[in-house]
Amino acid sequence: MPTLHLLAAGSNATNQLALAPPHPPNEDAYIFTPASFLGVPPGALPAGTMRVLDIRAGAGHTLVLLERAGGTEVWACGDATQGQLGTMEGAGTQFRSLALAGTPTRIAAAWATSYVVLTPTTPHDSAGDTVLAFGADDFGLLGGAGPDGTVSLAHLALPPLRVTALAAGPHHVVLSAHTLMGPEREILIGWGAARHGQLGAPPAASTAPRILALPPAAGIAAGAQHTVLLAPHAPAPVGVGANRAHQLDIPANLIHEEGGGGGLQGAGATWRATYAWTRAGVWGTGARAPSPSTPDGWIRFQGRRIERVACGSEHVLVLLHADGETEVWGWGWNEHGTLGAGHTRDVDARAPVCVWRGEGGRERAVGVWAGCGTSWVAVERDSDGPAGMLG
């Protein structure tokens, strides 16, 4: 029976990668290295883990959302000095489970602040979701959360909400939700830094969550000073906020320029760039992005199908299927070995490199995530499968 493993690479100054021995604590990892969870052998995930649903990482801490046989759980590691791991005083070099009074369904991480969405166990419960925030309150990132960490939305006079998307940049947060009672409404809510327009108008910091005058979106991504929204079946994402690095220079009919790749599968943001992708290619604009360095801004992977794309602080990972095998490619800032390529040289978007490849069909990458100088690959491995190789 296949087993699930989590590999990490990049910055590890505060043990935010939770690397398994014999990797030394507090030292960066230049290749993908097994992460360690409390109470299980190095490199293994907690018993009963079925999927790694999401990973979000701040400057020095990491949250992992796991699906286990008994439900979902959030595990955390890294820096806890500002309360970003909740009541946990310090996770040391291993992931530990957070004690939460509910079912976690979404997570996000700002610079030193964490967010968890709790959903009632009964899917149609009209009580709605609860948003928790804990950690640093710079720029009002806690959203006025009370002693129990609950972000209050009472001042918005809204019916109960179900959160459908959640994203945090270093200093701002945006969530998408729909109402559960009365006429159904799709609403965007945000708080934190806003002077560049990353929360729309007005460009003023919002310590209390506010309804944003922005179009509804199924997908949200947050850069350092901009926000990216993607509506279902849209021909292009919409960006708001800073544009000094041309991160908002998005063609209105982006999908028509790509040709042959089908509809947009998602959109993302690094600190100063915006990305969108189909099954055939990744398009980008802004710092370290391909446009205008490439003729049309698209990075294509001939003979391969894009499954997932992850945007970190200044780097990007792409999970590909090729001839029955899986590969992970990447580009961008690599000072801490962030890409897991075995070195610390930056990689140009015009020449992505393969940073992980399964061998012999017995090992498959099933997820990729990217954080603040950190990268993550979830790997499903047959019991007799070999370790993945660098490209």
Average predicted confidence (pLDDT) for the chain:
92
The 10s digit of each residue's pLDDT in 8-17 is 999 999 999 9
The two three-digit tokens of residue 283, written as one number: 């398009």
Amino acid residing at 363:
E
Q: Which pLDDT belongs to residue 46?
A: 96
Rounded to whole angstroms, the Cα distance separating 337 from 11 reads 7
Average the pLDDT over 228-233 and give the result: 94
Average the pLDDT over 224-250 and give the result: 96
173 compared with 207, residue with greater pLDDT: 173
Return the residue matching tokens 């399964």: 358
Contact 5, 381 (CB under 8 A): yes
Above pLDDT 70, what percent of the chain? 94
Sign, CA dihedral 382-386-390-391, equals negative
Q: Which pLDDT belongs to residue 291?
A: 59
20 compared with 163, residue with greater pLDDT: 163
Question: Phi/psi at 257 (nearest 5 deg)?
Answer: -75, -30
The 10s digit of each residue's pLDDT in 281-293 is 999 999 988 755 5
Record the pTM.
Answer: 0.95
Return the residue matching tokens 């100088």: 373
Burial class, 344, CB count within 10 angstroms (exposed 0-12 / middle 13-18 / buried 19+) = middle
Q: Which pLDDT belongs to residue 73?
A: 98
| Total H helices, total E strands in the chain | 1, 26
Rounded to whole angstroms, the Cα distance separating 224 from 111 reads 10
The 10s digit of each residue's pLDDT in 70-101 is 899 999 999 999 999 998 876 678 999 999 99
For residue 149, the number of C-alpha atoms closer than 13 Å in the C-beta half-sphere is 22
Decide if pLDDT at 307 tops 70.
yes
DSSP letter assigned to residue 16: T
CB atoms within 10 A of CB 272: 21
Rounded to whole angstroms, the Cα distance separating 310 from 266 reads 10
Decide if pLDDT at 7 tops 90.
yes
389 compared with 368, residue with greater pLDDT: 368
The 10s digit of each residue's pLDDT in 253-274 is 898 766 556 789 999 999 999 9
184 compared with 60, residue with greater pLDDT: 60
The structural domains of the chain, ordered by start, are 3-381 (2.130.10.30)
Q: Which pLDDT belongs to residue 390?
A: 46
End-to-end CA distance of the chain: 27
Return the residue matching tokens 């009963």: 48
